Amino acid sequence: MPKKVRSVFRKRSLLLLLFGFALGMIGAVFAHKGIKATSTDKFCERCHVHPHVFKSRKLSSHYATKSGMLVRCVECHLPPEGEGYLKEKIRLGAKDIYGFLVKDSADFNWEARRTVEMAQHFTSQRSCLKCHENLFPLTLTKEGQEAHLYYTQNEDELLCLNCHIDVGHYDPNRIHDRNVGFGSTTVANADVFTVPARVSALETFTETVPGTTVSFKMVAIPGGIFRMGSPEDEPLRKSDEGPATDVEISSFFMAETEVTWDEYLAFYSATGAEGRSTDTEGRRTLDDVDAITGPTPPYGQPDQNWGMGSRPAITMSYYAAETYCKWLSLITGKNYRLPTEAEWEYAARGGTETPYFFEGNPKTFTEKGFFGKLFGKQNELIGKYVIYRANSMGRTQEPDRVEANPFGLKNMLGNAAEYCSDWYAADAYSRLPEKVKDPRGPASGEERVIRGGTFKSDAALVRNAARDKTQTDAWLKTDPQMPKSKWWLSDCNHVTFRVVCEFDENTGKQQ
């Protein structure tokens, strides 16, 4: 640097310093103003044009507050100032701008975004607690006391949203209470069946449930030998799917679809005791019943307000699913039960040995990984057979949305996961003896096998061989009842079941 320039700098250093300071101040003021200006509700409204957001907000308890206080958008959707406010503002802002420019808000699945699962990513727990410092106000109800006490004991696992999801955007269909009226509105117009189906051979039949208007198709599955599990070179496989083992399966019948709400509600209304609102009947055992004890009323809305009818019934516990089979057996005179894991996979494969029962490589279907995100949109083929993340719109769908597998079974993959009667063990297949017939899984365990993936699953998890397990504790985490329900899951909306019927002397098997 020439001397002259340096001297000018030196002489004017004070001036420059002052200038810089002033510039900095102006910058700070404008930045501050900018942050403020982009944090008003009006500003949010400019881009968030989907009108239901504001309608539901105005109906919510955080807009129509008792004290007249108005809670602004950013006060819930961003963390408190000074606690990562700016960082989160930039993150969400960038996302919103991208969405605004590139996507059409009408295509978004707004409903799915209002689930706790998704909503927790754009609301701030710390902001809840910033305003609601006192979780034990004197006006708190008894139920509130119990719930908040439970929260204080499980702070790291629970969110305010778990119970208060609708405080910012009102949802008229939401129920956070004992739902004693659940299922009572289904009115039957059709004729009531008086006798169950008579089955005399291993042929597909339609079961008619006596005393109800419910019938469903049971598909005959001829026995055979198949290779259970996935080969080690199957793309996106997990280690619990092997070693692939030859397994022999006896003939049986399997329901064409996952148990529907119509079917499940028939059981619920036939066996559920009216007026009982808690589960204090734990002493009853399945073995010594002559009549079946049915579910207590659920807490909340088991169908998630997605609709019932032929959609798969969800949120029932394993115990409830098992009890359903017991009930169905009793009134039809057949042996209905949950499938074993081996039966399930045999039926799902329908004679195929490929990752899916249709053609295709999981890698081309998956949205996982860089290429998956970019190119994983070849979902026409898989979308014809499977309700999974890319086509489910965040909920279960009715069975006629998909085509059947080679055995004629629908939704074996995707839609909702299905209970199997086996205990889950990661190494279950390596414990199988050679030439095993009708294996029933480990003798004991903590969690049951669930199979088939769900409407939330990536393509990788709806392969024939993909395995998963129940999560007893997590699926009951927010059930506020004491004791927690043994019939309904408060925190799992993606599991159902499918019945199998044994091919035995009751269904025409010759000795």
Residues within the interface to other proteins (CB under 8 A): 134-138, 140, 145-146, 148-150, 152-157, 278, 280, 482-484
Whole-Å CA distances, 178 to 54, 183, 245, 297, 323: 29, 13, 46, 7, 21
Residue 180 beta carbon to other proteins: minimum distance, rounded to whole angstroms: 19
Give the nearer residue to other proteins in terms of CB position, either 21 or 136.
136
- Residue 312, strand partner residues: 260
Q: Compare residues 297 and 453 and give the one whose CB is closer to other proteins.
A: 297
- Shortest gap between Cβ of 153 and other proteins (angstroms)? 5
Of 212 and 490, CB closest to other proteins: 490
User: Smallest distance from the beta carbon of 149 to other proteins, in angstroms?
Assistant: 5
Q: Is 437 helix (H, G, I), strand (E, B) or coil?
A: strand
Question: 255 vs 476, which CB is nearer to other proteins?
Answer: 476
> What is the smallest separation between the CB atom of 328 and other proteins, expressed in angstroms?
31
- At closest approach, how far in Å is the CB of 127 from other proteins? 16
Q: By three-state DSSP, how is residue 187 classified? A: coil
User: Quick check: helix, strand or coil at residue 417?
Assistant: strand
Give me the helices (H) in 13-71, please.
Answer: 13-37, 41-47, 52-58
CA distance 28 to 121: 29
Q: Which residue has the tokens 């059930």?
A: 479
Nearer to other proteins, 34 or 483 (CB): 483
In this structure, the dihedral spanned by the alpha carbons of residues 56, 61, 62 and 63, taken in order and rounded to 10 degrees, is: 60
- Cβ proximity to other proteins: between 79 and 229 the closer is 79
End-to-end CA distance of the chain: 105
Closest CA to 409 of 463, 464, 348: 348
- β-strand partners of 224: 249
Nearer to other proteins, 369 or 483 (CB): 483
CB of 134 to other proteins, least distance (A): 4
Shortest distance, CB of residue 165 to other proteins, whole angstroms?
A: 22
Q: How far is the CB of 72 from other proteins (least distance, A)?
A: 25
Within 241-381, strands assigned E span 245-249, 252-255, 336-337
C-alpha span between 457 and 394 (Å, rounded): 10
Task: Compute, in degrees rounded to 10, the torsion defined by CA atoms 380, 382, 383, 388.
Answer: -140
Q: Which is nearer to other proteins, 105 or 154 (CB)?
A: 154
